[in-house]
Structures are given as structure tokens and as C-alpha cells.
Structure 1
Amino acid sequence: MVDWEDIRHFLAVAQSGTLSGAARGLKVDHATVSRRLAALEAELDVKLVDRLPRSCRLTSLGRQVFERALEMETSAHSIARLAKAAHVPLFGRITLSAPPVLVTHLLTERLTRFRAEYPDIRLSLSAQAQRVSLSRREADVAVRFVRPDETGSVTRKIGTMAFGLYAHRSYAHLAAPERWEFIAWDQTFADTPAQSWLLGIAGGRPVVCELTYSSEHLIAVRAGVGVAALPCFIGERDRDLVRIEEGAPYFARDIWLVVHGDLQKTPAVRAVMDFVLAVVSDYPNLAVR
């Protein structure tokens, strides 16, 4: 009988295109992936993958097996979600995925309240900018800035995160907008709406540095490096910063809460969703609609 673990490793190779990529995704070593793949091919007595110098390519039969394996994976995750939903008491480990800016500046500082209300729930808070799959159980609940469209998920808009331009109150060029220098996002977020908005305002004025996360932008602004775009709920509560406007157009990101339909009524998952809603509602600059 075919071992599910062998199929799981085959799926990872097919999806990543390399043995090393599959190993990173599964958090195992390269040799384990290679051994599992070889075991599956030996069990089926067929060749599923052509091992090229820098990549792995599915054979014709491998592509057919891949489609069946995806169906098996979906069914396996569905069974796990149903089992999780059957646990009525408020206990267990719930994974909440959210953008780093919300984890760092919003959710983490309210964990004490969550712990007091739900002492038997272990909340695993994952700061992730990239999309996660709820159907594959990469998270139980997710918060996103782009409306998710994953099949089987239930989505709700819970707020709007507005941005503004901020600088340290001692920034030497505050009185001369033509001399402003800007802090932008790095290439990781080069194609995001926020980057396009900021660079549109900067125009021909210099970008003095590029940073990845809003927490890094905040540190740079506090140090007087230049002008940055920060979420208003962060900028407005920092007494060392001033909001500066140059007729800048309004920009905001919608905040979406998403959960898989199989889990939305599970008490522990529901508690985490209510926690996120309560935290967002507490902030005046995150207008819940």
C-alpha cells in the first residue's frame, strides 16, 4: 500500500519544482525528500519525476498522479478540519496568520487580554505577508489586506487601515516640502499599492532608503532619516512624529478576516475571530465598517 508520507513529499516536489525547495517547505533535509520520492516510485514501479541538474520535472504519468494526490491532500485536510471542529471545549492550538504590521503593532500587545479570557487556548500568531492556504491548514484564521477568494472560506471585511506621511518633529526639511527625502519599501513590496502611492507622492524627490516592514520604517522615521508612509494607527500615537501633508491623495488598505467554512463555528476558532474583531474595533484609526 502506498504510504501517504511518500505522496506528501512527492506533492512538495511537484509544487516547488526542486528537491531543495520541497525540503525547505516540509522542514526536512534534502536526503529525506529524495528517499521518500524514490520509495513512492519503487512502490508504484513507475517514474514520476525526471531529476534534472537544477530542477525536477514531472513525467506524463507524474502529472496524472499529481492531480490525484492533490485530491487526496484536500480530503485529508478536510478530515482534519472536521475533527478539529468536533472539539467543543475552548482549548487547543489555533493558528492566526496576519500581516506583520498588524501582528507587531496591534495584536501582540493585546495577547494578555486574550490569555485572561481564554487560558486554555494556545494562540499561535504568525506574521506573514504572503497568502496562506486555509484548506491546507496552513492557518486556522487569517487576516489579510486583499480579499481572499479561496474556495470554502468565509470572508468578512472588518476595517480599513489608512496611511499618512510622517516625519520626526525635528526633521530639518519639514518647512520645505521640495527637500523631503523618502523612505520606501524594498523590492519585496515593489509592486504593492502602498509603494505605488508613496512613490507617486515622492515624484522626483530622492528615496534615501528601502526597508521591508512598517516597524523598520517607524524606527527610521524616529531617527530622522526622512519621510515615510505609516499606518495612521501607528503614526498618530507616537508623540515624536508629526503627520505632514502635501495634498497627498487618500490611501488605505481594507482589512479582511477569513476562516475556512468547516471551522467557523468551532468555539476556539470563534474565540480567536472575536479577539481580532475586538482589537481592531478598539483603535479609532481602524474604522470598522
Structure 2
Amino acid sequence: MTNWDDFRLVLALARTGAIRQAGAALGVNHATVSRRLADLTRRMGGAVFERISGRYQVTAVGAPVLEAAIRMEAACLEGERRLRAVSPDMAGPVTVSLPDAIARVVLLEELTAFAQANPDISLTLKCSYAYADLDRSDADIVIRGASAPDEHLVGRRLFPYALAHYCARDYFDQVALPDRRWLVRRTPAQWIERSPCPEAPVGYVIDDIDMLHEAAARGQGMIRGACYIAESDERLIRIPGSKVEPWEDLWVLTHPDLRDAPRIKAVMGLVTEALMRSRALIERGETDRCRG
């Protein structure tokens, strides 16, 4: 085998387990995947994949090809990272993966000012709570709450972000005790037993963090939410009796191959300093605003 497309095919099919999904990953249609797989099977002298319970799984014939493909992909990704890191000046792309709320509440103004002051840096923000794989170059820098990030990544652990219980300002006055409800990201939610309103049932589930806070702010129920989000919203109050609980540590991380690139160091320094300035809000939920 000398065709890189063969290795890409094996990787895609092994990861997706389906012809159509592999085609989508490769940017081709399912007929092309089927044709290439048939040609590869002929050249290998045996089945590279077999269908088990409706899913394509690599065979003993295909296993060495898959192993080689994984190594080749890793080498290509490493080469791409090293090429991105060689720029000696403050120029080039920087992609930051971070939670939407962190960007909106804490970092937006600082990152906007940085982009304006450094026009040669192409700054991209990927606002998502999903994990960005730095090994696969999904991003150059990640800002995440995590208990134990991948050990090979480099950066800085800052401090834990805090959680507490919140509701709309007039929720308690307008909603009788038997009618109060919790809004949660997932069930079961054992933390309700330790909350200020342990007798209140779950109203419904909202898996998006920002929508969860928005629903509470509109008076649709009570939540356990991130202090830095809720305390920045004048529509919300901390529920009487709620205790601030430290949660996961915030990390600012990059890949070792990128750590010495000037533009990467500059952005990491910027976001770290901005987060440290907001430590009281993020870690303890402390603000100057009065609560109703």
C-alpha cells in the first residue's frame, strides 16, 4: 500500500463503523467508499473489514493497516503543529476553545482589544463546552474546567469555579412552595437533596448551560449554576441558604509543540491574567451588586 487515501479510508471506517459516516468524514459519497473498500480488499487478498451487529470492524488482515494509519496520522498532525509553531514573531493563526459563558462574561473585551492591537494574528474563538482535542489541532489553546486534563498538555491550573443555587428575583414571591421546581442539566440530580429546597421536584432537563441560566432568569424554575454566570445576571438571585461549592479547576492549556510560539504565549498570558482578575467572581461568586 502506497496510497495515503487507503489509510484514510481505513481510519474513517474504523472510527465511524459505517459506510455513509466514513464517506462524510472523507468528503465523498458512500458509493465511493464502497468502491475503494472493495478495491482495497482485492489488493490485500482478504477482507479488511467485516460487519458485526451492523457495524464495520477491522479484521486481522486490516489491523496492521489501521495501526500504520494511526501512526501516519499522528506524524502528520505533529508536523502540522510544528509548522504552526515556527513563526518567530506575533503573526499567524491562534484558535482558542473555551466555554461560551467564559468568553461572554470574562474574556470578550480583552480578546477584542488583543485582536485589534495585533492585526497580524488571526484569532478564532471556538465557543463550546465540548472537549477540543489539541493533539488533532481542534484548537491551539483550551480554557476548560477539568479535574484531570491530559498529562502531556502544558499550561496552568488556575482555581476552581464555584456553583450555587439561583432563581429569578421574584420567583419565591410569585411561586408557592408546592409549585417550585428545579431545572437540571441531567438526571438524577443528587445535589437537590443538599440544596435549600430539597423537597422541590425536577421540572425538566436543559442540557445547555447558558439556556439553563436563561430559563431560571425568566422565572421558569430554580437551578444550580455557575456563580460567574448567575452573579453577572441582574435577573437572578442566589437562593437563601445556598452555599457556594467549589467545582472543577479552570485550566489554560496548549500542546507542547506550540508552547514557545510567541503568539500562543501572548494569548495564553492574556487570558490567564484576565481570568485571575475575575477570580473572586469565578471562585467565590463575589460581586458588588446587591441581592434582592
Number of the residue aligned with 2:113: 113
Go from structure 1 to structure 2 and tell me whether the alpha carbon gap of 1:184 and 1:70 turns closer, same or farther (over 3 Å shift): same
Give the CA deviation at 1:154.
1.2
Number of the residue aligned with 2:255: 260
Give the CA deviation at 1:31.
4.0
Q: Which amino acid aligns with 2:232?
A: R
**The residue matched to 1:133 in structure 2 has which SS?**
coil
1:10-49 to 2 correspondences below 5 Å: 10-26=10-26, 29-38=29-38, 40-41=40-41, 44-49=44-49
1:204-283 to 2 correspondences below 5 Å: 204-248=199-243, 250-283=245-278
Write the distance in 2 (CA, Å) between the matches of 1:246 and 1:28.
57
Q: Deviations over 1:244-265 (max 9, x none)?
A: 1435462422111221111111
Write the distance in 1 (CA, Å) between the matches of 2:83 and 2:163.
41
Q: Which amino acid aligns with 1:69?
A: A
Give the CA deviation at 1:96.
1.6
TM-score normalised by length of structure 2? 0.83
Unaligned 5+ runs, structure 2? 285-292
Give the CA deviation at 1:151.
5.7
Give the CA deviation at 1:21.
3.4
Q: Does the 8 Å CA contact 1:19/1:55 hold for their aligned counterparts?
A: no
Give the CA deviation at 1:52.
5.5
1:5 aligns with 2:5: yes
Write the distance in 1 (CA, Å) between the matches of 2:106 and 2:19.
38
Write the distance in 1 (CA, Å) between the matches of 2:36 and 2:151.
30
Unaligned 5+ runs, structure 1? none
**The residue matched to 1:143 in structure 2 has which SS?**
strand
Number of the residue aligned with 1:285: 281
Q: Which amino acid aligns with 1:181?
A: R
Go from structure 1 to structure 2 and tell me whether the alpha carbon gap of 1:129 and 1:18 turns closer, same or farther (over 3 Å shift): farther
Go from structure 1 to structure 2 and tell me whether the alpha carbon gap of 1:175 and 1:208 turns closer, same or farther (over 3 Å shift): closer
Which has more radius of gyration?
2
Give the CA deviation at 1:266.
0.7
Write the distance in 2 (CA, Å) between the matches of 1:95 and 1:40.
37
Q: Deviations over 1:181-221 (max 9, x none)?
A: 211114xxx58xxx553565354421112112221012111
Paired residues, what number?
Answer: 282
Q: Please report the RMSD computed on the Cα atoms of aligned residues, expressed in angstroms.
A: 2.9
Q: Which amino acid aligns with 2:219?
A: G
1:58 aligns with 2:58: yes
Go from structure 1 to structure 2 and tell me whether the alpha carbon gap of 1:101 and 1:3 turns closer, same or farther (over 3 Å shift): farther
1:137-216 to 2 correspondences below 5 Å: 137-150=137-150, 152-173=152-173, 180-186=180-186, 190=187, 196-198=190-192, 200-201=194-195, 203-216=198-211
Q: Which amino acid aligns with 1:76?
A: C
